[in-house]
Structure 1
Amino acid sequence: MDSVTKSYFEDLQSQDKDIRYEAFIYILKSTEEKVEWTYEVWDKLIDDLTDANNHRRAIAAQLLSNLSISDPEKRILKDFPALMEVTKDKRFVTARHSLQSIWKVGLAGEEQKEMVVSGLKERYKNCINEKNYTLIRYDIIKSLKKLDDHVQDDSISKQAIDLIELEEDNKYQKKYASVWKNKK
């Protein structure tokens, strides 16, 4: 890892939110493409998924999601349950940030894509008794759409539409369906 990136990783631990945010944006952008240093930070990010600080949990989830494309050892297959757990975080904003980025894991390969779709489907079905479940479901539908837009897999749209049809409230069913309006 180059010294600039290393410095930004150190800044992720800063108590100053502006420094932490600048570091996060830099690293997030750099991980949109494959990087060579994934495993230099992987274990720390896995540990941060359960950190007491909700900012660290959210950052770790988002960065791991991005780093999945740079994971030739496919560690994410083993670590995915811990990543999914952050989508149920007690701090809703942390859960939401995690949920909105987890689709990126599916860009890493066929196994990862199937794992993400399966995980999101289960999350959709099982969130019904959670506070803000309609936002959770909306984020899941949008995540499936983003994944489909990138990998162009018709089975994803079919599964998303099946999920939408599970929604009993017509208002929310229409809202979710609007995400897929060109596919239905």
Structure 2
Amino acid sequence: MEESMKREFDNLQAKDKTLQYEAYNHILEATTQEVDWAYDVWEELLEGLTAKDNHQRSRCAQFLSHLAISDPKKRILNDFEALWDVTKDPKFVTARHSLQAIWRVGLAGVEQRKLVISYLVDRFLNCEDERNHTLIRADILQGLKHLYDEVKDEEIRKQAMNLIESLDDPKYIKKYRLIWK
């Protein structure tokens, strides 16, 4: 791993919140493309999914979601459950940031895409008893939209439309359709 990227990961622990935030953004930007250092940080990120600090859990979940495209060994398939658990974090903001990023796992390949879609669909259909379930559903549909925009798989669009049409509330049907406009 390049020194500059090591420094970014070190800066995530800095006392200066601005430095932390800049490092976070630089890492997210770097991981929108394939990188050759994913396994240099993989275990640390995996451990961070259960850290006491909710900010660390959130960052680790987002980084692992981004790094799935840099995972030729397909480790994400075995580690997905741990990543998914953060989407149900007790801190809603942590859960939400994780859920908003997890669609990126689907960019890593067909197997990963099927896995993430199956979890998102199941969560959409079964989250009604969760706090803020309408936001969760919106985030799921937005994630599916992002994935569709990247891979242009018509089945993703059909699945999203089926999810929307499965609802009874016209207000949310209309709102969720706007995500896919």
Shared fold by TM > 0.5? yes
Distance 1:127 1:15, change over 3 A: farther
Amino acid across the alignment from 2:60: A
1:41 is displaced (CA, Å) by: 0.2
1:131 matched to 2:127 = no
Q: Which runs of 5+ in 2 are unaligned?
A: none
- Aligned ranges 1:57-136 → 2 under 5 Å: 57-136=57-136
- Aligned ranges 1:155-170 → 2 under 5 Å: 155-170=155-170
In structure 1, C-alpha distance between the alignment counterparts of 2:110 and 2:180, rounded to whole Å: 22
Aligned pairs, number: 181
3-state DSSP of counterpart to 1:36: coil
- Aligned ranges 1:140-159 → 2 under 5 Å: 140-159=140-159
Amino acid across the alignment from 2:66: N
1:2 is displaced (CA, Å) by: 0.7
1:106 is displaced (CA, Å) by: 0.5
Q: Which runs of 5+ in 1 are unaligned?
A: none
Show the counterpart of 2:41. 41
1:170 is displaced (CA, Å) by: 1.1
In structure 2, C-alpha distance between the alignment counterparts of 1:133 and 1:12, rounded to whole Å: 31
In structure 1, C-alpha distance between the alignment counterparts of 2:121 and 2:101, rounded to whole Å: 15
1:134 is displaced (CA, Å) by: 0.2
Amino acid across the alignment from 1:150: E
3-state DSSP of counterpart to 1:116: helix
Show the counterpart of 1:171. 171
1:10 is displaced (CA, Å) by: 1.0
1:180 matched to 2:177 = no
Aligned alpha-carbon RMSD (Å): 0.9
In structure 2, C-alpha distance between the alignment counterparts of 1:49 and 1:168, rounded to whole Å: 35
In structure 2, C-alpha distance between the alignment counterparts of 1:178 and 1:28, rounded to whole Å: 27
In structure 1, C-alpha distance between the alignment counterparts of 2:50 and 2:163, rounded to whole Å: 29
In structure 1, C-alpha distance between the alignment counterparts of 2:180 and 2:28, rounded to whole Å: 27
Show the counterpart of 1:18. 18
Q: Deviations for 1:109-167, whole angstroms, at most 9, x for unmatched residues?
A: 00011111101001111211111100000000010011001001011111111111122
Q: Deviations for 1:19-64, whole angstroms, at most 9, x for unmatched residues?
A: 2111111111111111111001000001111111010011001110
1:11 is displaced (CA, Å) by: 1.2
- When normalised by structure 1's length, the TM-score is 0.96
1:14 is displaced (CA, Å) by: 2.5
